[in-house]
A and B are shown apart, each in its own frame.
Chain A
């Protein structure tokens, strides 16, 4: 058996596979996967205060993909600490908490609150800073697409918490490499990308957009080549680990990201199609390593041959 462990943001993961925020809930996954086999688990992004999200329809299927505009519906950090953390503390999997916000203060306050929580230091291995949500009016893509803002958020969070920081970047900008470099300089411990790509779909009979908010974020196999290229570019520009996300449907897709330069991967939309897929991806990567004579998954990271 090839060794599967990787180090990301100072955490040792038993394998490079985790879920993408907002696409998998281990509370609802009873019997569908063996949670303990996941490299890490990332709950849906939380914010300082409760958010009710966007109007329905919140999703629509597109060619080999989907648009969503959930709008970060969540109960807020206090409810997360009360209701989710105790459960997560017993789940037997490293937890990375995804944080979103509309202002820098909100991001920092949310992380600070989390840091003070009873179970947090033991349970939460890192925070993922979502400066890339396309479905809120402020603080999402607006932060992630400006390198200075992304860096400022990172630096402010660094000041208030001891958690390792993963910054999740948006593909909705031409300056994503600059953003990656800026957050690295501001102290980020890892970078994850991509969040979803702005997209729109229109019903030709009603002439109305197919999702309630008008537009949303594209995910699924349709975005994979874009994501692989972005991961390739970013992993060459920074010295911190990169987590590859976008359209991973099987082990082969995950391996592509590793070859492009990702140290680990997140699986999103594929969970909707096959809730057991992350287990198959873990086994599939292991089988591939065996078949290609690799003893350690780290042997293939960034090894695309040009």
Chain B
């Protein structure tokens, strides 16, 4: 069943306006794939009405998963008020995630802001199966560089940028992307997994295209059903319109008409 209730184990602030919620669910821990999302009903009433899509951030153990989310508006603020022991209504795991069937020698994860959320799950799954996982992570300020210590803990080589220069190099993370592709300390095949603001992913896609490396991106679009029924969440691709909730949220970057 896609529709289920899960008990909240914890819901803690991890950075300014960013929360990590851990849910107890053997089914979700077992079924979730990196890049998939949960469609969460933040309260049982009619307002706010729609569910909120949030990516699976990590599988903590065989019966726990976690989410990493920013408080943007009413829905995510309500979510941040939930206490451990409460149950929430989730639909999921939904959508088509990252393709991890082929393991590259070098995984390059490109994260912008909240985009770190789904990429941690990718790094988790690739751990030990690739020679190197490099995380390129960019944010406006130092506080926006999320989960960096977690990525380091599972062995990722972390490169950082901030727009204000408060940590890492000043600038955009895509400034480092080319350098990361050219870095031949460890040779072999490369695959790129990206999530962040649309402009960041578009730039990442262009560079990946120039270097001819396979690149996947996780897209966002406003969603109602989350199930492929309402056609709210479409994106234009070389094969016509596709649904971000169903054929996505993860797409090959060369498939998207940016």
- B-binding residues in A (CB < 8 A): 22-25, 27-29, 31-32, 44, 52-53, 56-61, 63-66, 68, 70, 73, 220-221, 249, 269, 271-276
Asked if A220 meets B49 with Cβ closer than 8 Å, knowing A28-B246, A57-B221, the reply is yes
Q: How far is the CB of A16 from chain B (nearest CB, A)?
A: 22
Q: Fill in one digit per residue for B197-239: 1 if any A CB lies within 8 Å of its CB, else 0.
A: 0000000000000000000000001111111111111110000
A221 to B49, CA, bound (A): 9
Which single member of A44, A52, A61 contacts B50 (CB below 8 Å)? A61
The reply on B153 being an interface residue by CB < 8 A is: no
B225–A272 contact, CB under 8 A?
A: yes
Picked from B221, B227, B241, the residue with its CB within 8 Å of the CB of A28 is B227
Instruction: Tell me if B183 is interfacial: C-beta within 8 Å of chain A.
Output: no
A66-B50, A73-B234 as given contacts; A275 in contact with B228, CB under 8 Å:
no
Cβ contacts under 8 Å, B232 to chain A: 56-59, 68, 70
Q: SS class of chain A's interface: helix, strand, loop or mixed?
A: loop
B47 near A272: Cβ-Cβ < 8 Å = no
A64 touches B221 (CB 8 A): no
The answer to whether the Cβ of B189 comes within 8 Å of any Cβ in the partner chain is: no
The docked-state distance in angstroms from the alpha carbon of A61 to that of B235 is: 19
16 contacts between A and B (CB under 8 A): A25-B229, A28-B225, A32-B2, A52-B240, A57-B221, A60-B222, A68-B230, A70-B230, A272-B51, A272-B226, A272-B230, A273-B41, A273-B50, A274-B41, A275-B3, A275-B227
B191 to chain A, nearest CB (A): 28
Taking a contact as CB atoms under 8 Å apart, the answer to whether B3 and A56 are in contact is no
| A25 B227 Cβ-Cβ under 8 A | yes
Contacts of B3 in A (CB 8 A): 32, 274-276
Other 12 A-B pairs with CB < 8 A, given A57-B222, A271-B229, A272-B224: A28-B246, A31-B1, A58-B222, A58-B231, A58-B234, A61-B49, A66-B224, A73-B241, A273-B41, A274-B89, A275-B3, A275-B227
Task: Report which of A32, A53, A220 forms a contact with B46, defined as CB distance below 8 A.
Answer: A220
Which residue of the partner chain B has the closest CB to A247?
B46
Q: Which 8 A-B pairs have the closest CB atoms?
A: A25-B229, A28-B228, A272-B224, A59-B232, A64-B46, A57-B222, A221-B46, A272-B225
Beyond A73-B241, A275-B3, whether A59 also contacts B229 by CB under 8 A is no
Closest residue of chain B to A23 (Cβ to Cβ) is B230
How far apart sit A95 and B222, CA to CA, in the bound complex (Å)?
29
Residues of B within 8 A of A272 (CB): 50-51, 224-226, 230
B91 at the interface (CB under 8 A from A): yes
A32 to B50, CA, bound (A): 18
A239 CA to B126 CA, complexed, in Å = 66
Q: Which of B75-96 contact A (CB under 8 A)?
A: 89, 91
B31-67: which have CB < 8 Å to A?
41, 46-51
Which residues of chain A come closer than 8 Å to B230, judged between CB atoms?
Answer: 22-23, 59, 68, 70, 272
B220 to chain A, nearest CB (A): 11
